[in-house]
Amino acid sequence: MKITGVELRRVQMPLVAPFRTSFKEELHRDILLVRVVTPEAEGWGECVTMESPLYSEEYTDGAAEVMRRFLIPALTARPGLDANRVAPTLAKFKGHPMAKAALEMAVLDAELRAAGVSFGRYLGAVRDEVRCGVSVGIMNSVGELLDAVAGYLDEGYLRIKLKIQPGWDIAPVRAVRERFGDDVPLQVDANAAYALTDARTLARLDEFDLELIEQPLAAGDLYQHAALAKQVRTPICLDESIKSAEDAALALAIGACSIVNIKPGRVGGYLEARRIHDLCQANGIAVWCGGMLETGLGRAANVALAALPGFTLPGDTSASRRYYAADITEPFVLRDGTLAVPREPGLGVSPLADRLAEVTSDTEWVRADAA
Ligand code: NPQ
Ligand code: MG
């Protein structure tokens, strides 16, 4: 198909509660959505960048700029574009996986809506619903944390992930285990807040029988993660370190992790995400779907991905209300700890026009150059 133009839309989404990680406390999200228009159909993409380059190098204003100046013109110049050609077409522009992923998602959505095929069916989903976990931020006190975890367990989440950082690690994990018992699947995510010299602290987590420790060290510390894996019994899972299937292959080859968090934005799109799934499945490595506080659009695509056979661990694919009082799509609602995989063509969900209008702060139309 041929792209007519792309709309860049900014939406302002207040969070239901502050969400604190080792790098930042968020109260609100300023999200960049893309709408790809073709003669056959329209497609939506969601860019998962944060406002500041704290999770990775990318940030939302930078993503909008690289899209309007470089990525969109490269895509609109191609008459025979399809989703599989997006990444190769954009490959000459270095980096910017989240910006590229948003555009690929939108092109794939348009293509699948036109073809009458759902994301799940296209990607290879084998389940109608996916098992869900929840990511719980750093809190001001252990008491506050226990209340939050109690609430999520009551809602039915099937596993709890605690955000940790130096000084907020052993005590909160111990408190959650003591209060909720050994049967709750529990894991931690450091968002790169430790160094290899903290190995003895991290080894103290072994006694709590965690599913995994996610990204304890810096993104570039692949070798150090392999060294750490020999000093702790808890499985190491990588998030920030894995930016492509190649990265995943290297990480597995050197023993830097034994579980992978797959986030399509971080790896440049759903197609690369599926390649990482395939690689891990072939190597007997468990994967799960991460989250970036997506709206219902990104959530729909994540849930479809998480329905692939190798996604054997519950993901950070939480219900809409975990983050937003009012989503921009029909909300995703937790049922018996699961979310339903959309069945309709493309993402299977669309923005609610009134809701979208309410939260939109800016729109910009990037027209294809006249051929
Ligand atoms: C993670 N997500 O797994 C990320 C980190 C993260 C659900 O824990 C705004 C946008 C704030 C994206 C905070 C979860 C964010 C963000 C944290 C992503 O590492
Ligand atoms: Mg993470």
Rounded Cα–Cα distance for residues 195 and 134 (Å)? 26
- 18-66 pLDDT per residue, tens: 999 999 999 999 999 999 999 999 999 999 999 999 999 999 999 999 9
Is the Cβ atom of 89 under 6 angstroms away from ligand 1?
Answer: no
Element (H, E) at 14: strand 5-20
- Best mutation site among 49, 194, 293 for ligand 1, i.e. most ligand atoms within 8 A of its Cβ? 293
- 278-317 pLDDT per residue, tens: 999 999 999 999 999 999 999 999 999 999 999 999 999 9
Closest ligand by atom to 215 CA: 2
Mean pLDDT (whole number) for 115-143: 98
pLDDT of residue 370: 60
Distance (angstroms) between ligand 2 centre and the Cα of 72 equals 29
| Nearest in space to 64 (alpha carbons), one of 5, 9, 11 | 9
Is the Cβ atom of 55 under 6 angstroms away from ligand 1?
Answer: yes
Atom nearest to 263 CA in ligand 1: 3
Residue 216 gets which letter from DSSP? -
Of all protein residues, whose CA lies closest to atom 6 belonging to ligand 1? 292
Is the Cβ atom of 302 under 6 angstroms away from ligand 1?
Answer: no
Listed in sequence order, the DSSP H helices in 25-96 are 60-66, 72-76, 83-90
Residue 369 binned pLDDT confidence (cut-offs 50, 70, 90):
confident
Residue of 2, 94, 100, 163 with catalytic role: 163
Is the Cβ atom of 289 under 6 angstroms away from ligand 1?
Answer: no
Distance (angstroms) between ligand 1 centre and the Cα of 158 equals 19
| Nearest in space to 333 (alpha carbons), one of 322, 344, 345 | 322
Task: Give yes or no for a contact between 46 and 302, defined as CB atoms under 8 angstroms apart.
Answer: no
Is the Cβ atom of 237 under 6 angstroms away from ligand 1?
Answer: no
